[in-house]
Amino acid sequence: MLSQGVTLGTGSLKIALNTFSLWKSSTPPSHVGLQLPVEILQKIFLLLVEPYASEGGNPPARPHWIAITHVCRYWRSAALGIRELWSSITPGLSISWSLAMMERSAPLPVRIDIHISSSHTNGLHPLAASELLFAASRIRTLRLVGLRADILRVLDRLRSPSPIESLDLCVIDSGQAVDLPEALFGGKAPHFRRLMFACDAHIRAPRWLLAGITHFTTGADVALPGLLDALRAMPQLEMLHIPHCRAVWEEEDAEMPPTPRVVLPRLSLLSFRDTTPRRFIILSAHIDAPPTLRRHFFWRAWAVPSWDRWANMLAGMRTHTPTGADIIPRDSAPGSDDGDLRVMRVIGGPARGSFEVWSRTGSERANTSTAARDDALFLFHIDWRRSPVDPHGGGSLLDHSSPFFHLAGLCAHLRTTRVEDLTVASESASPDAGGREKNAPEGVASETPDVAAHWQALLAALPSVRTLRLHRGGPACVSVICVLASSANSLLPDLQKIFVVQNTVRYAAARSDGAVLWNFKRLAGNGTAMIRTHEPVHGNVGAELVAVVKGRYGLEVVLVGCEVDDEALETLRKRAQVDIGDEWVYV
C-alpha cells in the first residue's frame, strides 16, 4: 500500500520491468512512466534498486541505478524526493557519492557497507571513511571490511554517541587479536543489538558494548575461555551463531566444566558449523540456558571411511549436559512419544547432497516442514560436494568415500529408530547463462546395485517412518521407490502415507495420451488453471509405486504436481486411497 491509498498492482510492476529494460539499454523512454503518479514512480524506483544492488563483478564508484535520474526532470525530481532510495551505501562507492547519499537521505537512518583500504583503489581510505562516518548519529547498520590496522584507524575516530543497532567487522588479515576501542561510540550505544565478527583473529570488544547484545556471530580463531568470557558479558543474548571455529580447544576444555557456567537466560538458538561435533558438544556443556534452547549443528565433509572416529562425539549428543538438559531432547512428559529424532531429509546422492535429522520443535507455531526444521530443539545437518562416488573408496585416500555411502552407519550412531517423517529429494541444479546445468550431481547413477544397497540400508535404519515424501523425481526418488517395491514390505513397515511430488507416475513405460499434471487437470474445468507442459519430471515410478501400495492396507498416496496417466491412477486407486494435492500449497 502506497501513500494516499495508491496500490502498486500487476500493471505497474510490468511498467517497472519495462522501465528498467529501457534505461538499462540506454533507450529513450519516450512517454513511459511520465504519466504515472509520483508515488507509484517512486515505488518502482525502489523495486529497480533492490535487484540491481546485488549484481557481481567490481562495484562501480556510483550507484548502479543512477541512470534513472538522468531520464528527465520529472524522474529526477521523483528520485530526489524519496530519501529511502539514498539510504544504503554499498561497497565501491566513491567518497563523493557516499557523502551525496548521506546528504540526500537525511534525516533517515542509513546502512553503510564499505571496504576500507589505504593502498587499493577499490576501497575508501581510512581518512575518507572516517569523514563519511562522522555523521554517526544516523548510522543504524555498519559493516566494515579491510585490514586490521585500517579498520582500527576508523573505529578509533568513532567517539560520538550513536543509535547504531548492528556492527559487522570483517578483518581480512590474521594475526594478533583485534581489540576494539574502549571509547567506541563514546561509550554510549543504547540500541546496539547485533554484533558480527568474520576473521581468523580473535576480536575483543569492550564489556559495556556487549551488555545489550541479542545476536552474536563470531567466526574468529578464539579459544574457549575467551569465548566464554565474552558470553558472560551478554546476559541479553538470544542467538549465538558460530559459522566456523579454527581454534584448538584443549583436552581439559572437554571435561565437565566447573560451576558457575555461562548463564544465558534468554538464549534461544545455538547454531554451530564445524568439521567435527567436538567443539559444539563442549560449548553446549558450558552454557546454562533454558530447556527450549535450539541446538543446531552443521557439518561439511568431503569423504569419510566411517563414523567410528567420531563415535564418542556422536554419542555425546545423547548425554545430559550439566544443567540436566539433553542435547537431543527426550520425551517432553511421561507417557508422551515426542522425544529423540523425528524428521529426516536426504537430498542428492553420492557426489553431492545433504543429510539432516531433527527433533520436535520448541513451540506450537511450527506447522510446516520448513518452520519445524528451523524451530527444532535439535538439528543435525551434514552436506558434501564433489565427493568420491566409488562406495569402496577406490583404493585412494585410505578408502574414504562419499558420506552418502555411510548414512546408515550415521543413523546407527544417532539412533534414528523413532524417525517418523522421511523426505528424499534430488539435488536441484540451476542453469547457467548458456542453458547448461551447473553444480549438477556427478558420478554413478543411483540405480546401480551398490547405490541401491545403500538406500536399502538407510531405510532399514528407519523402522518407524510413517510418512514418506519423494520430491522432484530424479535418481534418488527412483531408487527409493524401487527398493521399497522389491522389499516385500519388510522396509518401512509402519508406512501410512506417501507424498509423490513432481514425479512421473505412468503405469507403462511409454507415455499415455492421458498423462497430465493432475493437480492442474482437476481445476481445468473451472478455467482457473493452466497445464504446464514444461514441468521437469524425471524417471517413471508408476509401476514401482503400485508394487509398494500392494499389500499395505490403508496406505494413502498424495500426488502433487505429478505427470500421471489414467491407467496408473486407476490402478493405484484400487489398492490405496489416492489424493491429488495442491502444488502451490505443498511444494
pLDDT: which is higher, 459 or 121: 459
Q: Which residue has the cell 580473535?
A: 202
- Map residue 477 onto helix, strand or coil: helix
**Residue range 176-194: mean pLDDT, rounded:** 90
pLDDT: which is higher, 254 or 53: 254
**Per-position b or e across 251-267, b if 16+ CB within 10 A of its CB:** eebbeebeeebbebeeb
Looking at residue 220, what is its pLDDT?
Answer: 72
Q: Which of 391-400, 457-466, 493-502, 538-547 has the lowest mean pLDDT?
A: 391-400
**pLDDT band at 576, cuts 50/70/90?**
very high
Looking at residue 195, what is its pLDDT?
Answer: 94
| String of DSSP letters for 290-354 | -TT-EEEEEEE-S-BS-SGGGHHHHHHTTSBPTTS-BSS---SSTT----SEEEEEEEE-SSSEE
DSSP 4: G
**Per-position b or e across 447-481, b if 16+ CB within 10 A of its CB:** eeeebbebbbbbbebbebbebbbbbbbbbbbbbbb
Record the cell numbers describing residue 357, joined without a space. Answer: 535429522
Looking at residue 95, what is its pLDDT?
Answer: 83
**Residue range 47-66: mean pLDDT, rounded:** 63
Can you give the residue ranges of every domain in the chain? Answer: 1-86, 393-428+441-586
Record the cell numbers describing residue 508, joined without a space. Answer: 507403462
**Residue range 299-314: mean pLDDT, rounded:** 91
**Residue range 191-197: mean pLDDT, rounded:** 93
> Do 354 and 381 touch, CB atoms closer than 8 A?
yes
What own/partner pairs with CB < 8 Å and gap ≥ 24 does 98-104 have? 98/124, 98/132, 99/131, 99/132, 101/63, 102/132, 102/135, 102/138, 104/80
CA distance readout (Å), 545 to 19, 519, 535: 50, 18, 20
Express each pLDDT in 260-290 by its tens digit: 789 999 999 999 999 889 899 989 989 999 9
pLDDT: which is higher, 257 or 562: 562
CA distance readout (Å), 14 to 21, 27, 354: 11, 17, 38
**pLDDT band at 458, cuts 50/70/90?**
very high
**Residue range 5-16: mean pLDDT, rounded:** 44
Q: Which one-letter amino acid corresponds to residue 232? A: R
Q: Which of 6-10, 232-236, 506-510 has the lowest mean pLDDT?
A: 6-10
Q: Which of 73-87, 269-283, 337-351, 489-503 has the lowest mean pLDDT?
A: 73-87
- Is the pLDDT assigned to residue 256 strictly greater than 70? no
- Is the pLDDT assigned to residue 524 strictly greater than 70? no
**Residue range 305-317: mean pLDDT, rounded:** 89
**Residue range 425-430: mean pLDDT, rounded:** 66
Distance CA 461, CA 267 (A): 34
Average pLDDT, the chain: 79
pLDDT: which is higher, 399 or 559: 559
Looking at residue 258, what is its pLDDT?
Answer: 62
Distance CA 41, CA 23 (A): 14
The answer regarding whether domain 393-428+441-586 maps to CATH 3.80.10 reads yes
- Is the pLDDT assigned to residue 85 strictly greater than 90? no
Record the cell numbers describing residue 287, joined without a space. Answer: 552454557
Looking at residue 295, what is its pLDDT?
Answer: 95
- Is the pLDDT assigned to residue 536 strictly greater than 70? no
> Do 422 and 344 touch, CB atoms closer than 8 A?
yes
- Is the pLDDT assigned to residue 414 strictly greater than 90? yes
> Do 562 and 579 touch, CB atoms closer than 8 A?
no
Looking at residue 127, what is its pLDDT?
Answer: 85
CA distance readout (Å), 496 to 25, 463, 571: 56, 12, 18
Phi, psi torsion values for 575, nearest 5 degrees: -120, -15
Looking at residue 489, what is its pLDDT?
Answer: 85
Looking at residue 77, what is its pLDDT?
Answer: 86
Highest mean pLDDT: which of 102-116, 453-467, 506-520? 453-467
Looking at residue 264, what is its pLDDT?
Answer: 96
* Percentage, residues of the chain above pLDDT 90: 34
Express each pLDDT in 145-171 by its tens digit: 888 888 888 898 888 888 899 999 988
